Amino acid sequence: MTDLFEEKARDWDTNEMIRALSSGIGAAILEHIPLHEEMTVMDFGAGTGLITAHIAPHVMSVTAVDVSESMLEKLAAKPELQGKVEVCCQDILQEPLERDFDLIVSAMAMHHVQDTDKLFQRFAETLRPGARIALADLDKEDGTFHPADVEGVYHHGFERSAIESLLRKHGFTAIQFTTAHVVNKEEGEYPVFLVTASSK
């Protein structure tokens, strides 16, 4: 499996746009999801752990899932995450995790997944009854957010109604959207939604 983020991992955490985006999404998750110290969490597309760092102090454990080994190496090296976070370099669409969770969080990872229907199915299978989900990604955009030649981008953001339909299809209820952050680039403004929902 090619690691498309091997080069980016080196200075990912020093990118001001990424740091601001992660702070906005992390704050929105903390505002909309009640966390507690017995909670087990999956961070899907965890990268270097910028969202995990917001969640980990408030829960029992976080399983950081990503297909980029280089990004997860950065996460695993962070002393503040030691003992709370387990890294898992795995494509859960191909190889599901053999465990379940009280919460799944994800930030800016869904647009890198071609089959979002299967992803939501996998999320539903991996959550305990009544568990929560908190997913952040770009609202539908015109394709200018990423450079034209970037690999591994399958969606130019998402219509909120399409995400809601997928969640309902896989049994999620209490679906709520909020705007977690707005990315300002030379090309324009790019709103980022956070959707929360409960599993059946």
Number of domains in the chain: 1
The CATH number assigned to the domain holding 116 equals: 3.40.50.150
Give domain status of residue 169, yes or no: yes
Neighbours of 57 (CB within 10 A): 11
What's the chain's length in residues?
200
Query: pTM for this one?
Result: 0.93
Give domain status of residue 2, yes or no: no
In the prediction, which pLDDT does 2 show? 56
Structural domain boundaries enclosing 85: 8-198
Greater confidence (42 vs 98) lies with: 42
Q: Which long-range contacts (C-beta less than 8 Å, at least 24 apart) are formed by 112-116?
A: 112/45, 112/152, 112/153, 112/154, 113/154, 114/154, 116/155, 116/158, 116/166
HSE of 187 in the Cβ direction (CA atoms, 13 Å)? 11
Tell me: the pLDDT tens digits for 53-95? Answer: 999 999 999 999 999 999 999 999 999 999 999 999 999 999 9
Give domain status of residue 107, yes or no: yes
Give domain status of residue 3, yes or no: no
Give domain status of residue 87, yes or no: yes
